[in-house]
Structure 1
Amino acid sequence: MELTDIWFVAITVLWVGYFVLEGFDFGVGMLLPVMARNETERRVMINTIGPVWDGNEVWLITAGGATFAAFPEWYASLFSGFYLPLLLILLALIVRGVAFEYRAKRDSMTWRRRWDACIVAGSFAPALLWGIAFANIVRGVKLDARHEYVGTFWDLLNPYALLGGLTTLALCATHGAVFLALKTTGEISGRAAVLALRTGVAAAVLAVAFLTWTQIQGGTLGTVILSAVAVLSFAAALGAIAKGRQGWAFLLSAVAIGVTVISLFAVLYPNVLPSTVNPAYSLTVENAAATPKTLGIMTWVAVIFLPLVLLYQSWTYWVFRRRIGVGDIPAHH
């Protein structure tokens, strides 16, 4: 296997980690006005992701940095062509992060509600826009012979991409509800389980439609099998949550999201950004890659430091593994 292939796989793994971990973050944020009935329950929900949400975003930073270093041509074409949606995602993530830190700075219900609205919007927008962006990457965009995007913003809002956005939105909402069922106690956990089943049905329908459309466009036997595994895992997750087995439900939901991301990258390979103008203009793992020396240095850096990052993040989740409920929330000051 060439270094270019290894780094394509590595970037795939980074995006899998991002969508699996940040996915439930987005879900919890979106469900804040739906699940919580009072300020104490809102604090319970926010505290379930409080210790980990910023660490989960490291996967996004690493994926972006790895793309820039390993496939600079891909990075340049992607960030120029998808400038507006990526800017909206960045702004949403900034507002969301500020909201987590500032909502408790004043003892004012109006103040907290405004920041809660920022958390909801900052979770909703990335969950939707990432699906639209990745659907366009798989489908292909208008690249010319110089690998420059020659389309418009509205070209990105095609039916396939919008279906991809709705799919990731529904999957994140369900993943977040399953996480809440696992991480909380009492009434919140019960309501989260019920909501996970309701949103899960919609997510399953959207996912089947999106993955089927993806396979029709350019699937192989291998990607069809991956898509089937993703759908079956998600169905099993809904079955587990219905039986009250929240741990298994969360694990299977994570598997479903991870395998879905892998299947999209498998459909994309060996392209990294197909051209709908002319297939010869497409960016591939070969013509978009950095020099072999650069890839070699990156590989050694990843081998040394990636295990340390994984160990640290695993330790964080272990430390904050306990379920929480309204009884664990002190009086607000």
Structure 2
Amino acid sequence: MTSLETIWLVLVTGIWTLYLVLGGAELGVTMLLRLGSGAARTVNRQAALRAIGPTWQANDVWLICAIGAMFGAFPAWYAGFTEGLYLPLVVLILALIVRHAGIEFADHHSPIGRERWTRAVIACSAVLPVGWGVAWAAAADGSLARGGVDVLSWSAVLAGLALLALCHAMGAALLAHRTSGALAVAATRRLRWAAPLAAVLGVAATVGVAQGAADGVTAGPLAVALLVVAGAALATLTVAGGQGRARVAHHAAGVAVGGLLGALVAALGSRVIAGAGGVDLATSASGGYTLAWMTAITVALLPVLLWVLHLAGRRRSTGPRRGLGEGLFEGLR
């Protein structure tokens, strides 16, 4: 692979990581909209949505950027990804639509209608991480190259469940440290068992994907290093979650997701869809002219994106006015 191709492979992986970490935490929050009982459940639901109010829609922009970067820089990868996941992607798109609609529409209905929309939002929030986990793991065991129902291999489904559990733990941790009162207590209680469960499933999924990997998928030094980082993060998640240290658990879960995804891409190398009929980026990436223009546009637009994140961080903060660095950090969180 050329230098530009390598840079864009790293960028695509990084953008997917941002979506799965930032958007995944907020998917976890919307899985927890029914914490509590009776009237307290309605209050908790509103508090949970306020906690992610400035960014729950904006974080889906990372998904659009990831798909757009794949399409522009590696059209064969995009084609193989969407062809192999045709039916699962339809389900994921419908889940995205229903989740967004449910969050917006629920408060405009009667209590019965609001409860139905809330249940739909919770279900769709669980479907999304399972689907993306299956998609990435299927690229490693060769089933994505075959497409159809073959993508639902045991290792891919296990990876989907692991990502679901990690998002659930991140959501509980986010609520525990961003809210107060009964909701924070309930979220901390949920985190105490969700964190170790996520860690166990993360380890199991890593072993499963490694055992089911197709020929040519090997863990080189970079993949091993990222797996060590992910393992340390999972251990930290278990300890911090059990102790109710929500901020530490939140960040540890995010590092674990990023480390596992990075290790998977590093193991795949340029052959990002393994197996017979898979995709090798070294021979199917866009030309140097296209990649050069994409790089220039990205460099030009990056400051705008960082400024938007800064504004989101300032909007979330209820304290004194924050500078660019502090606001940006809050926006990324």
Q: Please indicate, yes or no, whether the TM-score normalized by the shorter chain is above 0.5.
A: yes
* Map of 1:256 onto structure 2: 256
DSSP 3-state at the match of 1:7: helix
Residue of 88, 92, 97 corresponding to 1:94: 97
Root-mean-square deviation over aligned CA pairs? 1.8
Q: Which ranges in structure 2 are unaligned for 5 or more consecutive residues?
A: 320-333
Aligned letter for 2:176?
A: A
1:4·1:289 contact (CA, 8 Å) conserved in 2?
Answer: yes
The alpha-carbon distance between structure 1 residues 128 and 291, as it changes in their structure 2 partners (threshold 3 A), is same
1:240·1:248 contact (CA, 8 Å) conserved in 2?
Answer: yes
* Map of 1:315 onto structure 2: 311
Residues of 2 paired with 1:215 and 1:201: CA distance?
Answer: 21
* Map of 1:77 onto structure 2: 80
DSSP 3-state at the match of 2:284: coil
Residue of 164, 170, 179 corresponding to 1:169: 164
CA-CA distance at 1:315 after TM superposition: 2.8
2:74·2:281 contact (CA, 8 Å) conserved in 1?
Answer: yes
CA-CA distance at 1:250 after TM superposition: 1.9
Residues of 1 paired with 2:263 and 2:172: CA distance?
Answer: 24
* Map of 2:4 onto structure 1: 3
Say if 2:55 is the partner of 1:60. Answer: no
Residue of 182, 188, 192 corresponding to 2:183: 188
The alpha-carbon distance between structure 1 residues 79 and 303, as it changes in their structure 2 partners (threshold 3 A), is same
Describe the superposition over 1:18-69 as per-residue Cα deviations: whole angstroms up to 9, x where unpaired. 0110111111111222456421111111221122111100000000001111
CA-CA distance at 1:282 after TM superposition: 3.1
**Percentage of pairs with the same residue:** 34
The alpha-carbon distance between structure 1 residues 214 and 236, as it changes in their structure 2 partners (threshold 3 A), is same
The alpha-carbon distance between structure 1 residues 55 and 142, as it changes in their structure 2 partners (threshold 3 A), is closer
* Map of 1:33 onto structure 2: 34
Describe the superposition over 1:135-158 as per-residue Cα deviations: whole angstroms up to 9, x where unpaired. 101222364xxxxxxx35221111
How many residue pairs get aligned? The number is: 311
Residue of 46, 51, 64 corresponding to 1:48: 51
Residues of 1 paired with 2:140 and 2:177: CA distance?
Answer: 33
Aligned letter for 2:28?
A: G
CA-CA distance at 1:322 after TM superposition: 4.4
Q: Which ranges in structure 1 are unaligned for 5 or more consecutive residues?
A: 144-150, 324-333
Residues of 2 paired with 1:39 and 1:123: CA distance?
Answer: 18
* Map of 2:322 onto structure 1: none
Describe the superposition over 1:204-228 as per-residue Cα deviations: whole angstroms up to 9, x where unpaired. 1111111123345332243223112
Residues of 1 paired with 2:136 and 2:169: CA distance?
Answer: 19
Say if 2:301 is the partner of 1:298. Answer: no
2:196·2:237 contact (CA, 8 Å) conserved in 1?
Answer: no
The alpha-carbon distance between structure 1 residues 165 and 142, as it changes in their structure 2 partners (threshold 3 A), is closer
